[in-house]
Amino acid sequence: MIKKTAYSAALAAAMTLCAGAAAAADVKLVAQNPLVELSVFEEVEAKPDTVTIGAGVVTDAPTAVEALRQNSAAMQRVIDRIKAAGVAERDIQTTGLNLSARYDYDNQQRRQIFLGYQARNTVSVKFRDVQRAGPILDALVAAGANDVNGPSFSIENDEQYKATARRNALQKAQRQAEEYARAAGYTGVRLLLVNEALHGRARAESGAIMVTAARMDAAAPPVEPGVIGTGVQINVTYEMVR
Protein backbone atom coordinates (compact mmCIF):
# COMPACT_ATOMS: atom_id res chain seq x y z
CA MET A 1 0.00 0.00 0.00
CA ILE A 2 1.30 3.48 -0.89
CA LYS A 3 0.19 6.58 0.96
CA LYS A 4 1.43 10.07 1.76
CA THR A 5 1.07 11.09 5.35
CA ALA A 6 2.83 12.28 8.49
CA TYR A 7 4.22 9.16 10.19
CA SER A 8 4.70 8.66 13.91
CA ALA A 9 5.90 5.40 15.41
CA ALA A 10 7.72 3.83 18.31
CA LEU A 11 10.76 3.11 16.14
CA ALA A 12 13.16 2.23 18.91
CA ALA A 13 10.73 -0.27 20.42
CA ALA A 14 9.82 -1.89 17.11
CA MET A 15 13.37 -2.20 15.78
CA THR A 16 14.75 -3.74 18.97
CA LEU A 17 13.56 -7.34 19.18
CA CYS A 18 14.38 -8.03 22.82
CA ALA A 19 12.68 -8.12 26.19
CA GLY A 20 13.64 -4.58 27.08
CA ALA A 21 12.32 -3.06 23.87
CA ALA A 22 8.98 -2.04 25.39
CA ALA A 23 10.77 0.43 27.65
CA ALA A 24 12.39 2.29 24.76
CA ALA A 25 11.42 5.92 24.25
CA ASP A 26 9.06 6.89 21.43
CA VAL A 27 10.70 8.58 18.49
CA LYS A 28 8.53 10.63 16.18
CA LEU A 29 9.31 10.59 12.49
CA VAL A 30 7.74 12.78 9.85
CA ALA A 31 7.77 11.48 6.29
CA GLN A 32 7.71 14.09 3.55
CA ASN A 33 7.19 11.58 0.75
CA PRO A 34 4.77 8.69 0.11
CA LEU A 35 5.06 5.61 2.30
CA VAL A 36 5.17 1.96 1.31
CA GLU A 37 3.78 -0.49 3.85
CA LEU A 38 4.42 -4.19 3.24
CA SER A 39 3.79 -7.48 5.00
CA VAL A 40 6.29 -10.20 4.06
CA PHE A 41 6.53 -13.82 5.19
CA GLU A 42 9.61 -15.99 4.75
CA GLU A 43 10.07 -19.60 5.82
CA VAL A 44 13.19 -21.73 6.08
CA GLU A 45 13.01 -25.53 6.08
CA ALA A 46 15.35 -27.69 8.12
CA LYS A 47 15.66 -31.29 9.26
CA PRO A 48 14.23 -31.98 12.73
CA ASP A 49 16.64 -32.92 15.51
CA THR A 50 14.21 -33.94 18.26
CA VAL A 51 11.51 -36.61 18.45
CA THR A 52 8.70 -36.90 21.00
CA ILE A 53 6.68 -40.07 21.45
CA GLY A 54 3.76 -40.78 23.74
CA ALA A 55 3.85 -44.27 25.25
CA GLY A 56 1.49 -45.81 27.75
CA VAL A 57 -0.19 -48.89 29.11
CA VAL A 58 -3.93 -49.57 29.33
CA THR A 59 -4.97 -52.36 31.71
CA ASP A 60 -8.39 -53.91 32.40
CA ALA A 61 -9.18 -55.85 35.57
CA PRO A 62 -12.22 -56.81 37.68
CA THR A 63 -11.24 -54.53 40.57
CA ALA A 64 -9.72 -51.07 40.78
CA VAL A 65 -6.85 -52.30 42.94
CA GLU A 66 -5.96 -55.06 40.52
CA ALA A 67 -6.21 -52.78 37.46
CA LEU A 68 -3.87 -50.24 39.04
CA ARG A 69 -1.45 -52.92 40.28
CA GLN A 70 -1.15 -54.57 36.88
CA ASN A 71 -0.88 -51.24 35.14
CA SER A 72 1.86 -49.98 37.46
CA ALA A 73 3.94 -53.11 36.97
CA ALA A 74 3.58 -53.01 33.18
CA MET A 75 4.30 -49.27 33.03
CA GLN A 76 7.44 -49.68 35.09
CA ARG A 77 8.74 -52.19 32.54
CA VAL A 78 8.06 -49.67 29.77
CA ILE A 79 9.87 -46.89 31.65
CA ASP A 80 12.82 -49.18 32.36
CA ARG A 81 13.00 -49.98 28.64
CA ILE A 82 12.94 -46.28 27.78
CA LYS A 83 15.86 -45.59 30.13
CA ALA A 84 17.74 -48.62 28.79
CA ALA A 85 17.45 -47.06 25.32
CA GLY A 86 19.52 -44.11 26.58
CA VAL A 87 16.75 -41.58 27.21
CA ALA A 88 17.58 -39.25 30.12
CA GLU A 89 15.18 -39.06 33.08
CA ARG A 90 14.54 -35.37 32.41
CA ASP A 91 13.17 -36.33 28.98
CA ILE A 92 10.60 -38.75 30.43
CA GLN A 93 7.45 -37.10 31.78
CA THR A 94 4.16 -38.58 32.96
CA THR A 95 1.36 -36.95 30.99
CA GLY A 96 -1.67 -38.91 32.16
CA LEU A 97 -2.78 -41.31 34.89
CA ASN A 98 -6.39 -42.46 34.92
CA LEU A 99 -8.47 -45.10 36.68
CA SER A 100 -12.12 -45.50 35.72
CA ALA A 101 -14.96 -48.01 35.75
CA ARG A 102 -15.92 -49.79 32.53
CA TYR A 103 -19.51 -50.35 31.46
CA ASP A 104 -21.34 -51.84 28.53
CA TYR A 105 -24.96 -51.26 27.56
CA ASP A 106 -27.45 -54.11 27.26
CA ASN A 107 -29.94 -53.09 24.58
CA GLN A 108 -32.41 -55.83 25.50
CA GLN A 109 -32.48 -55.02 29.20
CA ARG A 110 -31.87 -51.33 28.57
CA ARG A 111 -29.38 -50.94 31.33
CA GLN A 112 -25.66 -50.58 31.89
CA ILE A 113 -23.60 -53.64 32.76
CA PHE A 114 -20.52 -53.22 34.93
CA LEU A 115 -17.43 -54.79 33.30
CA GLY A 116 -14.66 -53.85 35.69
CA TYR A 117 -11.99 -51.14 35.84
CA GLN A 118 -9.50 -49.68 33.43
CA ALA A 119 -6.18 -48.08 34.41
CA ARG A 120 -4.20 -45.95 31.97
CA ASN A 121 -0.74 -44.45 32.42
CA THR A 122 1.04 -42.46 29.71
CA VAL A 123 4.44 -40.81 29.47
CA SER A 124 5.97 -38.41 26.98
CA VAL A 125 9.41 -39.45 25.75
CA LYS A 126 11.83 -37.07 24.06
CA PHE A 127 15.05 -38.14 22.36
CA ARG A 128 17.48 -36.46 20.03
CA ASP A 129 18.37 -39.14 17.50
CA VAL A 130 15.57 -39.03 14.94
CA GLN A 131 16.88 -42.13 13.16
CA ARG A 132 16.05 -44.20 16.25
CA ALA A 133 12.34 -43.34 16.22
CA GLY A 134 11.28 -46.60 14.57
CA PRO A 135 13.42 -48.95 16.69
CA ILE A 136 12.44 -47.17 19.92
CA LEU A 137 8.75 -47.44 19.04
CA ASP A 138 9.25 -51.13 18.40
CA ALA A 139 11.09 -51.56 21.70
CA LEU A 140 8.33 -49.79 23.64
CA VAL A 141 5.67 -52.09 22.21
CA ALA A 142 7.83 -55.11 22.96
CA ALA A 143 8.14 -53.89 26.56
CA GLY A 144 4.36 -53.80 26.95
CA ALA A 145 3.24 -50.37 25.75
CA ASN A 146 -0.18 -50.74 24.11
CA ASP A 147 -1.11 -47.04 23.87
CA VAL A 148 1.42 -45.35 21.59
CA ASN A 149 1.14 -42.14 19.61
CA GLY A 150 3.54 -40.02 17.62
CA PRO A 151 6.20 -39.49 16.64
CA SER A 152 6.25 -35.71 16.77
CA PHE A 153 9.31 -34.12 15.16
CA SER A 154 10.67 -30.74 16.20
CA ILE A 155 13.71 -28.47 16.14
CA GLU A 156 15.02 -27.88 19.63
CA ASN A 157 16.70 -24.56 18.80
CA ASP A 158 15.51 -22.93 15.60
CA GLU A 159 17.03 -19.47 16.17
CA GLN A 160 19.56 -19.83 13.36
CA TYR A 161 16.77 -20.66 10.92
CA LYS A 162 14.65 -17.76 12.09
CA ALA A 163 17.67 -15.47 11.64
CA THR A 164 17.96 -16.64 8.04
CA ALA A 165 14.23 -16.10 7.53
CA ARG A 166 14.54 -12.55 8.92
CA ARG A 167 17.31 -11.66 6.48
CA ASN A 168 15.41 -13.13 3.55
CA ALA A 169 12.20 -11.36 4.55
CA LEU A 170 13.89 -7.97 4.88
CA GLN A 171 15.69 -8.35 1.55
CA LYS A 172 12.42 -9.32 -0.12
CA ALA A 173 10.62 -6.35 1.43
CA GLN A 174 13.41 -4.00 0.29
CA ARG A 175 13.13 -5.24 -3.31
CA GLN A 176 9.36 -4.86 -3.34
CA ALA A 177 9.48 -1.38 -1.83
CA GLU A 178 12.06 -0.26 -4.39
CA GLU A 179 9.83 -1.54 -7.20
CA TYR A 180 6.96 0.58 -5.88
CA ALA A 181 9.24 3.59 -5.57
CA ARG A 182 10.54 3.34 -9.12
CA ALA A 183 7.03 2.85 -10.45
CA ALA A 184 6.01 6.04 -8.66
CA GLY A 185 8.94 8.04 -10.05
CA TYR A 186 11.27 7.86 -7.04
CA THR A 187 14.80 6.51 -6.98
CA GLY A 188 14.81 4.52 -3.74
CA VAL A 189 13.37 3.99 -0.28
CA ARG A 190 14.30 4.65 3.33
CA LEU A 191 13.40 2.12 6.02
CA LEU A 192 11.27 3.56 8.83
CA LEU A 193 9.80 0.66 10.75
CA VAL A 194 10.10 -3.11 11.14
CA ASN A 195 7.57 -5.16 13.10
CA GLU A 196 8.00 -8.90 13.47
CA ALA A 197 5.57 -11.74 14.08
CA LEU A 198 7.04 -15.22 14.52
CA HIS A 199 5.58 -18.12 12.62
CA GLY A 200 6.81 -21.63 13.11
CA ARG A 201 6.07 -25.18 12.22
CA ALA A 202 8.82 -26.13 14.62
CA ARG A 203 6.85 -29.27 15.39
CA ALA A 204 5.46 -31.75 12.91
CA GLU A 205 2.89 -34.25 14.10
CA SER A 206 2.32 -37.65 12.60
CA GLY A 207 -0.77 -39.76 12.98
CA ALA A 208 -1.27 -41.88 16.07
CA ILE A 209 0.15 -45.37 15.87
CA MET A 210 -2.50 -47.90 16.83
CA VAL A 211 -1.03 -50.85 18.71
CA THR A 212 -2.94 -54.13 18.62
CA ALA A 213 -2.05 -57.71 19.51
CA ALA A 214 -1.61 -58.51 15.82
CA ARG A 215 1.18 -55.95 15.57
CA MET A 216 3.10 -56.96 18.66
CA ASP A 217 5.46 -59.18 16.64
CA ALA A 218 5.67 -56.88 13.61
CA ALA A 219 8.92 -55.32 12.42
CA ALA A 220 9.91 -51.84 13.56
CA PRO A 221 7.67 -49.30 11.82
CA PRO A 222 9.35 -47.15 9.15
CA VAL A 223 9.58 -43.53 10.25
CA GLU A 224 10.60 -40.65 7.98
CA PRO A 225 11.37 -37.30 9.69
CA GLY A 226 11.14 -35.12 6.56
CA VAL A 227 11.69 -31.39 7.11
CA ILE A 228 10.09 -28.72 9.28
CA GLY A 229 9.50 -25.11 8.32
CA THR A 230 10.12 -22.18 10.65
CA GLY A 231 9.73 -18.56 9.64
CA VAL A 232 8.92 -14.97 10.42
CA GLN A 233 6.48 -12.41 9.14
CA ILE A 234 7.58 -8.79 9.11
CA ASN A 235 5.51 -5.66 8.63
CA VAL A 236 7.71 -2.90 7.26
CA THR A 237 7.26 0.74 6.37
CA TYR A 238 9.48 2.60 3.91
CA GLU A 239 9.52 6.19 2.77
CA MET A 240 10.10 6.82 -0.93
CA VAL A 241 13.12 9.03 -1.62
CA ARG A 242 14.61 10.75 -4.65
Cα separation of the two ends of the chain:
19
Q: What is the pLDDT of residue 220?
A: 65
d(CA 240, CA 83): 61
Q: What is the pLDDT of residue 199?
A: 65
For residue 36, which of 178, 190, 238, 242 has the smallest C-alpha distance?
Answer: 238
Q: What is the pLDDT of residue 224?
A: 82
User: Mean pLDDT, 10 residues at a time, over the chain (242 residues)?
Assistant: 41 38 51 93 93 95 96 95 91 95 90 95 92 87 91 91 95 97 96 83 49 48 84 95 92
d(CA 140, CA 172): 47
**CATH number of the domain located at residue range(s) 50-154 in this protein:** 3.30.70.2970
pLDDT tens readout for residues 40-52: 999 999 999 999 9
Q: What is the pLDDT of residue 202?
A: 52
Q: What is the pLDDT of residue 225?
A: 86
For residue 57, which of 104, 94, 3 has the smallest C-alpha distance?
Answer: 94
d(CA 189, CA 39): 16
CA dihedral 71, 76, 79, 80 (to 10 degrees): -150
Query: In this structure, are residues 223 and 23 in contact, taking their beta carbons and an 8 Å threshold?
Result: no
For residue 59, which of 121, 114, 115, 124 has the smallest C-alpha distance?
Answer: 121
Q: Are strands 35-46 and 92-106 parallel, antiparallel or unpaired?
A: unpaired
CA dihedral 17, 22, 24, 26 (to 10 degrees): 110
The DSSP letter of residue 109 is T
For the chain, what are the domain ranges?
A: 2-47+158-201+231-241, 50-154
